[in-house]
Structure 1
Amino acid sequence: MSLSPQFLDELRARTLLSSVISKQVKLLRAGREWKACCPFHKEKTPSFTVNDDKGFYHCFGCGAHGDAIRFLTDAQGLPFMDAVKELADKAGMEVPAADPRAREKADKAAGLYDVMAAAARWFEEQLDGIDGADARDYLKRRGITEKTKARFNFGFAPDSRSKLKTALKEFGVEKLVECGLLIQPEETGKEPYDRFRGRLMIPIRDPRGRVIAFGGRILGDGEPKYLNSPETPLFDKGRTLYNLDRASPASRDAKRVVVVEGYLDVIALDQAGIGEGVAPLGTALTEGQLERLWRLSPTPLLCFDGDAAGQKAAVRAALRALPHVGPGRSLGFVTLPAGQDPDDLIRAKGRGALEELLGNPESLVDRLWRHESAAEPLDTPERKAGLKRRLLDHVGSIADPDVRDQYRSALMDRFYALIRPPRREWVPNRPVRGQSFQRFAPPRPASAEAKAVGARGLAPHEMRAVLAGLLRFPGAIAPHAEAVAALPMGDAGAARLRDAMVDAALMHGELDQERLNTILADEGVAALVEQLRLQKGLGFSFTRRAADPERAFRDLVLVIETLAARPALDAAFEAATARLKEDGNEDAFAEQQRLRAARDEADRRLAALMESDADQPSS
């Protein structure tokens, strides 16, 4: 069986050589390489090196040299195809089925590299000739220096249908068509003609630095503005990144890789001293391109244009990446000033302005939240529900279970904070059986002791009774959502159930028992609900079926307001006590006594509400 050079190159690109060798040889970091004692001959001083950037190992002692496939065949004795299959399996690639024409195709592809190299040289010659004057003027206007022009091998395609075909006639028309340099008309008898005409030419290279395609920018009016080579045996647009051959080693030093939209942005970055820039080739980032980026950096920085199209491209990349994120695999986002691309920013304000933005990227979860939360007004329950559904759909696309849980937690926390009224210390605003609490503002800052008062949470029987009452009277949740949300639940399960009920009321308005039960089941708290329904002896009217519904509803509201107010009363009392110890004056004493009385009265009311129903059957 014969495998194509493209498949083997892709396999090598997806394989981290040091990870393969380190399973058998203890490697030590030595700058940008790894060192070890050679596994192929006995030695005491390390002379075996592994270079991940170049994808090969070499022993200066015995001369052993090769890539990941060669290591498995030589060091482990695997047959060639077994080594390929093992590496392909780990890289998530499928080995092509046996094809008797594969060898012929591979041999043909090998000759195409020579064609592309010759075309690149010819385009360069045209840029420096008479026909290239307009293209040279364009480069000067863009601020491209002679050094950069030579480094990136700019060229020019004359506005002719046959000049390239004539210049490279020794390769034959068939190869020129197969490389995408000529267009073969569909009409029978029509002659092939030059694909690129009247364009500034930019060579596109594979990771090994070989020219595999071209990008051509039109100099005058016309469409398309940029024209890329078509898919060929050498060029797979979805797996290629412009400047990857140079950016790969540069990213090791910079410890980052910067993704921009176009060739000239990459070139502007390089000319400014940022050599780790790459660009997709006129399309949205693909999974194949993301895989290559993650080989260079755990968090590639997407620095797309500041216009609407650039920001949409950033969001598309975020959504494309989500299923594949994991520990050590994410994206960062850099938002440029409106209407500017990296080239504009560098030319206007210099490298420092761009570096400042690159140094403070937005995380993937932040970009996702910003995009979805701003998608539409959240002024109706339906739109709030829509936001939640979109966020959870995105979370559900993440394959890694740990990362998926973290995203769900982070996005739901933001969602609830956005739609939920701000939680503040609850002060009742109505009389409770002829009495009322005096309004007060808890002293700020409170002492550490005061801050700890509310952390203890409700007593277990109070907590269970209130939750059971809300399940029985869900109509009380929406109008008293703030007080319910302020209840200090000391138990994680109870807090989760409470939050689910408050969220349901805020999302859907007033609820009945059936609707609430359905929502709670969807939220995964049905087991908690069932446990509460089996509780007996909770002692309040709103937990007893025989109680008068109107009175039970009223008692439930009174208990909620009393319990929600108690942490603030406790904190204020502790703060007043602390001030009394410090000052010892009459005002501090009077305030302490007033708060003590209010707190004691609240406890008496709770006891009275419970005792008044102690002899009634439980639900």
Structure 2
Amino acid sequence: MSLTPAFLDELRMRTSLSTLIGRTVKVQKAGREYKACCPFHNEKTPSFTINDEKGFYHCFGCGAHGDAIRWMTDQRGLPFMEAVKELAQAAGMDVPAPDPRAAKRAEAAKGLHDAMAAAQDFFVAQLDAIEGAEARAYLSKRGISDATRRAFGFGYSPDSRGRLRTALKDYGDPMLVEAGLLIDPDAAEPDSDRAKKRDPYDRFRGRLMLPIRDIRGRTIAFGGRILGQGEPKYLNSPDTPLFDKGRTLYNIDRASPASRQTGRVIVVEGYMDVIALAQAGFGDAVAPLGTALTEHQIERLWKMVEVPILCFDGDSAGQKAAIRAATRALPLLRPGHSLAFATLPQGQDPDDLLRASGPAAMDAVLDAAQPLVERLWSHEQGSAPLDTPEQKAALKQRLRALTDAIADPDVRAHYAHAFRERYDALFFARPAFTPAARGSGSGNSAARWQRDKRGNWKAPIGPAGHEVRAIGASGMEQRLLRAILAGLLRHPDQIALHRETLAGLPIGDPILARLADSMISASLRKETVETQGLLTILEPGEVYNMAKGMLRADTFTLTPHKMTADPDRLARDLEEAIRVMAQGPELEAALAEATRRFKGDVSEENLAEQQRLLALKADHDRRLAELAQPEDIV
């Protein structure tokens, strides 16, 4: 659909912006303008102004700015075309249809919307009738107030096969079947040779009814809860031209504007969880509709906030649902957009927790929400024993599979780094001593690296007075260090990810040290660093010539895998190579200290610590030899 600038200008002109905003925000006349407390951020003194003559609003506190259409998209959460349609309807304007077929579909959808609205009115009326007594008793038992009942549109479907069909007969059976309100028994047996056609009958019978609404608050489907014995406990409308359960979130119409105020969206498991939270003051809750959270629903949540909170029950079913949502989100992750996970106490749903401990307890659960990376790590760590080398390797393989599922390269690299840190901390406890960053002026002065007049690094004193040696002066370490720096020169986007570790490397070769410092400095000055930009900051001389030589080399290796084409392989290999390079001096200093303690106190504890560090040192040396291929890169 193509909307001309003239049409949009006319729409804005016909819309009273102060009246539109005044429907949900208290506005006050202030001269030729209006003022209000900004709905986009919390404030006590009004800094939000509305100018009807110019047709825009502006907040001098947070900078929110826009016109009537922007108000509908930002504050109400409507898609652009939905916002235009709603404003046009209020202004008495017809939105241009792109072609006759689209107009026909729109007309058909209008008929379905009317039928669903009529069904909602019917169900609400039945709840207040004699037959609705059991449903009203159930609501009272659940502690649902009259205000909540009205806000969520509770109704009741009589236990009859034809009451709704009769009440809505003017819409005709075909439309009611298409809307999912009636069931056509013959449609289930299209090849039947039955002579007499059977009549459609009501889909919902003897159930407490809840309307499912779209972002504009229009009823598009229903959910019905059985009141006595029977299955299913909850029955939803089937997919229809109006309703796609995989793309719809229950309570999206109310939670979307509420989330603008709180900056938060809570995802819970079902209708009654949403309603209990809303009644307790948590108006920003939504729920999927009887299915696991889908990709479309995750994207819809991200239009509301960048990090929705998934709050599932603490039982095994709830935690399985959380992990399904976590893994489904991985391919969709992008910078800034993720999920957080709040876990309810074992055996409690939101209603149970609120009844037992009040809103403060729910706030505490939400405040303790885990980031996605932590939830994945804790799940994989606890999903199988980790007693043998094979089991430990299996954990590493599972973590790599999760990382590989992430499409965005930057997010994927950070996840790989985060998992590696946790894995190493679990199985390869690092020694406590870590050299302070070169030239940072921070840390213990006795363990700070300094340069002498020739530019060489002067080793600090490690634990118990043991000198920590420099690295990369010759041999395998130098080959590995040159491969690392060559990799960073070719892929400078990786520098910032490893900047802290690189700054702490006590490099013994002065030329390599100056090259590393130049690369670190460049990454601190600019968010985006390019290879050519790195070369331009190097003065002609030994460092520049070395860098050029590294770039002229056809290939270089850190592992048996050639790091030339696969960016994921490169990122992982660089991370491991830098980690191994940094561990050497630390392990040696810690081992020297453990040996000193053992000589002074020949105890089983000191012996075990010395042996543990010896094993780690042997593992480190083996991996160093594997990474530092004998082939030089320049």
Larger Rg: 1
Q: Deviations over 1:305-341 (max 9, x none)?
A: 1211111111111111122222221111101001211
Q: Cα distance, 1:148 vs. partner?
A: 1.0
Q: Distance in 2 between matches of 1:378 and 1:388?
A: 11
CA distance in 2, matches of 1:415, 1:153: 50
Tell me if the contact between 1:32 and 1:51 (Cα under 8 Å) persists in the aligned partners.
no
Residue 147 of structure 1 and its aligned partner are, at CA, apart by 1.4
**1:49 and 2:56 aligned:** no
Secondary structure (helix, strand or coil) at the match of 2:222 reads: strand
1:272 matched to 2:280: yes
Q: C-alpha displacement at 1:374, in angstroms?
A: 1.1
Cα drift, residue 174 of structure 1: 1.1
Distance in 1, matches of 2:340 and 2:409, equals 21
SS in 2 for 1:201: strand
1:54-112 superposed Cα distances (whole Å, 9 cap, x missing partner): 2399xxxxxxx9957999xxxxxxx979xxxxxxxxxxxxxxxx986443232111111
CA distance in 2, matches of 1:399, 1:56: 28
Cα shift at 1:400: 2.1
- Alpha-carbon distance, 1:165 to partner: 0.6
Cα distance, 1:468–1:209 mapped onto 2, change above 3 Å: closer
Report the secondary structure of 1:55's partner residue.
Answer: helix
After the TM superposition, which residues 470-509 of structure 1 pair with which residues of structure 2 at under 5 Å, given as runs? 490-491=506-507
Cα distance in structure 2, aligned partners of 1:492 and 1:392: 34
Aligned counterpart in structure 2 of residue 365 of structure 1, from 362, 367, 373:
373
Q: Distance in 2 between matches of 1:296 and 1:235?
A: 20
Counterparts of 1:144 and 1:300, CA distance in 2: 26
Contact 2:116–2:220, Cα closer than 8 Å, also in 1:
yes
1:341 equivalent to 2:349? Answer yes
- Kindly indicate whether residue 443 of structure 2 is the aligned counterpart of residue 449 of structure 1: no
Structure 2 match to 1:378: 386
Q: Does 1:401 align with 2:398?
A: no
Asked whether the 8 Å contact 1:69–1:80 carries over to 2, the reply is: no
In structure 2, the residue matched to 1:144 is 144
Counterpart residue number, 2:129: 129
Deviation at 1:254, TM superposition (A): 1.2
Contact 2:433 2:586 in 1 (8 A): no
Deviation track 1:459-483 (CA, whole Å, cap 9, x = no partner) reads 34666357889xxxxxxxxxxxxxx
> Distance between the aligned counterparts of 1:51 and 1:286, measured in 2?
29
Query: 2: CA distance between counterparts of 1:360 and 1:238?
Result: 28
Q: Is the 8 A contact 2:50 2:57 kept in 1?
A: no
Q: Against the structure 1 CA distance between its residues 198 and 322, is the aligned structure 2 distance closer, same or farther, given a 3 Å change threshold?
A: same
**Conserved 8 A contact 2:331-2:405:** yes
1:216 counterpart SS class: strand
After superposition, what is the alpha-carbon deviation per residue over 1:342-387, rounded to whole angstroms, capped at 9, x for unaligned?
A: 1111111111100111122110110011111111112233322222
Does 2:38 match 1:31? yes
Query: What is aligned with 1:11?
Result: none
Task: Kindly report which structure 2 residues correspond to 1:13-412, keeping only aligned pairs within 5 A, or say none.
Answer: 31-32=38-39, 49-50=67-68, 52=70, 54-55=72-73, 67=83, 101-186=101-186, 187=189, 189-412=197-420
| Aligned ranges 1:554-573 → 2 under 5 Å | 565=588
Q: Distance in 2 between matches of 1:492 and 1:125?
A: 84
Does the CA-based 8 Å contact 1:204-1:215 persist in structure 2?
Answer: yes
C-alpha distance in 2 between matches for 1:563 and 1:44 = 56
Distance in 2, Cα, partners of 1:526 & 1:109:
52
**Residues 415-564 of structure 1: matches in 2 within 5 Å?**
415-421=423-429, 423=431, 448-450=445-447, 453=460, 458-460=469-471, 464=475, 490-491=506-507, 518=560, 524=570
Equivalents in 1 of 2:280, 2:181: separation in Å? 32
- Cα distance in 2, alignment partners of residues 116 and 43 from structure 1: 35
Contact 1:425 1:568 in 2 (8 A): no
Aligned partner letter, 1:142? R
Say which SS state the counterpart of residue 135 (structure 1) adopts: helix
SS in 2 for 1:285: coil
1:103-152 superposed Cα distances (whole Å, 9 cap, x missing partner) = 32321111111111111111111111111111111111111111111111
> What TM-score does the superposition give when structure 1 sets the normalisation length?
0.61
Question: Structure 1, residues 266-294: CA drift from partner, whole Å, max 9, x if none?
Answer: 00011001111111101111121112211
Which secondary structure does the structure 1 equivalent of 2:301 belong to?
A: helix
- Structure-2 separation of matches of 1:67 and 1:561: 61
**Inter-CA distance 107–191: structure 2 relative to 1 (3 Å threshold):** same
The alignment of Structure 1 onto Structure 2 pairs a total of residues equal to 438
Distance change in 2, residues 1:29/1:126 (3 Å): closer
Q: Partners of 1:371 and 1:245 in 2: how far apart?
A: 33
| Distance in 2 separating the partners of 1:492 and 1:373 | 38
Offset of residue 458 of structure 1: 2.9
Question: Do the aligned residues in 1 keep the contact of 2:307 with 2:337 (CA within 8 Å)?
Answer: yes
Provide the secondary structure at the position in 2 that maps to 1:217.
strand
Cα distance change, pair 53–206 in 1 and its aligned pair in 2 (3 A): farther
Classify 1:309/1:463 alpha carbon distance in 2 versus 1 (closer, same or farther; 3 Å): farther
Match of 1:477 in 2: none
Question: Residue 241 of structure 1 aligns to which amino acid in structure 2?
Answer: L
Label 1:491 to 1:366 Cα distance change in 2 as closer, same or farther (>3 A): farther
Q: Please, which moves more after superposition, 42-51 or 189-198?
A: 42-51
Distance in 1 of aligned mates of 2:311 and 2:242: 28
Gap regions ≥5 residues in structure 2: 4-34, 41-47, 76-80, 88-94, 435-442, 450-459, 481-503, 513-557, 578-582, 597-631
Q: Do the aligned residues in 2 keep the contact of 1:214 with 1:229 (CA within 8 Å)?
A: yes
Q: Percent identity?
A: 50
The question of whether the paired residues in 1 share the 8 Å contact of 2:38 and 2:59 is answered with: no
Distance, in Å, in 1 between the alignment partners of 2:365 and 2:433 is 40
**Unaligned 5+ runs, structure 1:** 4-27, 58-64, 72-78, 82-97, 427-445, 470-487, 495-515, 532-559, 574-618
CA contact (8 A) 2:270 2:289 kept: yes
Aligned equivalents of 2:561 and 2:331: distance in 1? 27
